[in-house]
């Protein structure tokens, strides 16, 4: 497996920041950048707001997006027979909702993986703290393989 690009490292750092309770220094060490870089990414990307918004699970967000799509479809279907098509503004909203749904579905897998790994690491801290130094690089390598 080759080295990660800066973009992949940034994405990984964002996942760690939003999903795990780690310090910027811990994130920097795991991702392979400086703490200053992580801090810049957090501020530039407004990750704190993102972290708060993630309190609503991806599954809930997906349900809301599907509900919005259904409402648009019902509006279109409620029109007269020859007018049952999306208006340009509706078509644009449908397109944006579809892109958002695809993005959430793709993120769901990696988000779930990092969430489970975070729980495992928390468990190991109380059960077998010395094992964390051995297992964390393996878990991180797995996440890297999914980002590449």
Of 10, 5, 70, 8, nearest in space to 42 by CA: 10
CB–CB of 8/148 below 8 Å? yes
pLDDT at 89 (0 to 100): 95
The reported pLDDT for the residue numbered 28 is 96
| Averaged confidence pLDDT in the chain | 87
- Tell me if 38 sits within 8 A of 27, measured CB to CB: yes
Domain-by-domain residue ranges, the chain? 6-147
pLDDT (0 to 100) of residue 1: 42
Cα separation, 139 vs 132, whole angstroms: 10
What is the band of 68 on the pLDDT scale with cuts at 50, 70, 90? Answer: very high
pLDDT at site 84: 92
- State the pTM of this model: 0.47
Highest mean pLDDT pick, 21-30, 35-44, 100-109: 35-44
Which letter does DSSP use for residue 82 in this model?
G
Whether 148 shows a pLDDT value over 70: the answer reads no
Please give the residue that has the higher pLDDT: either 22 or 56. 22
Residue-wise pLDDT for 69-128, tens only, equals: 999 999 999 999 999 999 999 999 999 999 988 877 766 577 778 878 888 888 888 888
Cα-based distances in Å from 108 to 58, 70, 113: 7, 22, 8
What angle do helix axes 6-19 and 24-31 make, rounded to 10 degrees? 140
Whether pLDDT at 26 is above 80: yes
pLDDT band at 3 (very low <50, low <70, confident <90, very high): confident
């Amino acid at each position: 497996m080759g080295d990660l690009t800066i973009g992949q490292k940034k994405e990984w750092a964002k996942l760690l920041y939003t999903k795990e309770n780690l310090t910027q220094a811990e994130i920097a060490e795991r991702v392979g950048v400086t703490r200053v870089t992580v801090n810049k990414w957090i501020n530039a990307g407004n990750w704190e707001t993102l972290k708060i918004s993630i309190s609503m699970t991806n599954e809930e967000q997906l349900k809301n997006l599907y509900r919005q799509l259904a409402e648009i479809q019902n509006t279109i279907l409620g029109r007269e027979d020859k007018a049952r098509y999306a208006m340009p503004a509706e078509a644009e909203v449908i397109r944006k909702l579809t892109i958002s749904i695809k993005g959430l579905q793709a993120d769901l897998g990696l988000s779930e993986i990092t969430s489970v790994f975070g729980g495992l690491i928390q468990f190991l801290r109380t059960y077998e703290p010395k094992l964390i130094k051995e297992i964390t690089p393996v878990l991180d390598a797995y996440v890297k393989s999914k980002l590449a």
